Chain A
């Protein structure tokens, strides 16, 4: 039973991390609230479906979704987001419009029916229980996403510049940093993470034009509760909700699990209105 609970909690944490890290990077570093985040995930799922249909191996499909949706994010930033920096309500409306547009386009091009990625990973036995092997792949990808994002921000010159720009954009500009370039790349990276998340989820949930809605509210709650620091915030909020959701869902039911997660979120925001990391001045 202990094994099952640990597995369910880890899996819950991994799912939340997967769906919210891209949103957290964009929100934490750029203060842009991307309401089309769910549709970026959906786009990643479609890239994964198309790649596996074309006979590519799954890991290559993941890579294609990461790169493809990342490039799409850069285009969106150039055409839409860059005109709206500092105007939170306007970015909300613009990205919401973008999400409706993307659902419409995908429905028109690929049809409204859900698509599948055949999953042939089988299961593993532990203590008399079967666990889907693919769920461990999902956990590994979530951990990898955290590790790579942390390494980029912590150890590369680019990460340093990004952090500097986010703290004092005017000072960074004065020191010769191309601010637009930094914003564009950060948005692209956030979109790429969302695309990768969609591709990793696709074999479990399939790909359908409306799938963004299944994830967007959970991702938002995680990011808002996490607060402004993208990594610490996502890890702590996913960790907290994952423990609650994983264990409560196991002992009672998925519905009670979801309700208790939301109750915890409301209580936390009452105590820490700007999120868990809201008061932290520095960090990642």
Chain B
């Protein structure tokens, strides 16, 4: 292999070395056709990479499966990987490079809301199509942007319903990371808690490098809430779960979270620390379905890893597959053709049925409430079938305003 920059990046990223190998493409009879290109921009390194590592591999796995089954529209798929190194500046740089220089047909990736917000304008400028495979605070109304992950209307509403209504834990203390995701998700938590007859007795934000949680642990004990809500993010804030268990304990005050498990906290923390955290998610490894078991088996064979895959691991696969369905439907990989075909695009994935909602370019999916167990995983408690992205639907209509590019914030 000639050591061009792209080959180097592909080799260095490890997972992708054999994705577009000539042998595999010849086997599938695709070597002659002009490839369709996918850019994957994720953090293989840096402080936020715990969210990306599995997703990088599942994205590559989806591309390999598509190529082995004959490619898309008779053309092979070429994956170009860019390591954004947990640095938003690189997200913007690589998104531009992907569209302008490498001429990709779709850009997948970005984890944080800030990384998404630097890439969206690039999509507008160069008429690209962007799949954001991540949980976020909702409200983005942009036809060049597709979110395949959970938004608050899907994620927070079922979790609050379970905790406040079914469990009767009415008084909640909210903790969140201090950036746009945390600030907005905290507002949604307040809204849903109040709407279900609960009360938010405290709310607090933490910088992403916070390591000392002793003051808030004292305040929580004095406020005596029924439940603590967490939307904490990143390696530093993972320390909260350790300190919480060592000080208060989930047996005394239960803990519910919208972010726990996304960074594979469950696979890193101890049995005591994982035991009992209540989450809502669109995928857990222990989902009792054929599709989930089969996905895990294929992921293990592809990546050679048999540890916890997580929701973010599954997102990479889901994003590529949903896009592929839309491409087949459109009969063309060109962004503007695919965008027209997005509405109603459906894929039967590992977490259930995913359907892109044409009004918002967000995804309707099953939502599962689960509880952390002592073996580093989660036990399914309850599934909510086909939850629509209701919060974003309330503010966004791309059919009526196709030129909208705004992110709407909830007014609460």
Contact = CB atoms under 8 A, between A and B. Distances in A.
A210 interface: yes
Contact of B212 (A12, A112, A121): A12
Interface in B220-260: 221-222, 235-236, 238-239, 242-243, 245-249, 252
B242 A254 contact: no
Contacts of B118: none
Contact of A204 (B46, B209, B242): B242
Given A114-B238, A206-B238, A257 B243 contact: no
B215 A119 contact: no
B87 interface: no
B45 A107 contact: yes
Contacts of B219: 250
Interface stretch (B151-159, B263-271, B282-290, B349-357): B263-271
A101 B108 CA distance: 30
A220 interface: no
B207 interface: yes
Nearest to A122: B246
B178 A118 contact: no
B268 A116 contact: yes
Nearest to A107: B45
Interface string A241-281: 00000100110011101100000000000000000000000
B294 interface: no
Interface string B33-50: 000000000001111011
A8 interface: yes
Contacts of B49: 112
A213 B209 CA distance: 8
B211 A215 contact: yes
Contacts of A15: 212
Contacts of A214: 209, 211, 236
B205 interface: yes
Contacts of B50: 112-114
Contact of A206 (B214, B216, B268): B268
Given A8-B214, A250-B219, A112 B53 contact: yes
B246 A132 contact: yes
A4 interface: yes
Interface string B264-303: 1001111010000000000000000000000000000000
Given A129-B221, A204-B211, A258-B207, A116 B269 contact: yes
Size bracket, chain B contacts: 35 or more
Interface in A182-225: 201, 203-206, 208, 210-211, 213-215
A212 B45 CA distance: 15
A123 interface: yes
B384 interface: no
B201 to A, nearest CB: 14
Contacts of A120: 272
Given A8-B215, A214-B236, A116 B242 contact: yes
A112 B239 CA distance: 16
Interface of B: 44-47, 49-50, 53, 178, 204-207, 209-219, 221-222, 235-236, 238-239, 242-243, 245-249, 252, 264, 267-270, 272
19 contacts: A8-B214, A112-B53, A113-B264, A114-B238, A116-B242, A116-B268, A119-B245, A121-B246, A128-B221, A130-B221, A132-B247, A135-B214, A203-B242, A204-B242, A205-B239, A249-B212, A253-B205, A254-B204, A255-B206
Given A11-B212, A133-B246, A255-B207, 14 more contacts: A1-B222, A8-B215, A116-B270, A119-B270, A128-B221, A129-B222, A130-B252, A135-B214, A205-B236, A208-B47, A211-B236, A249-B212, A249-B216, A254-B212
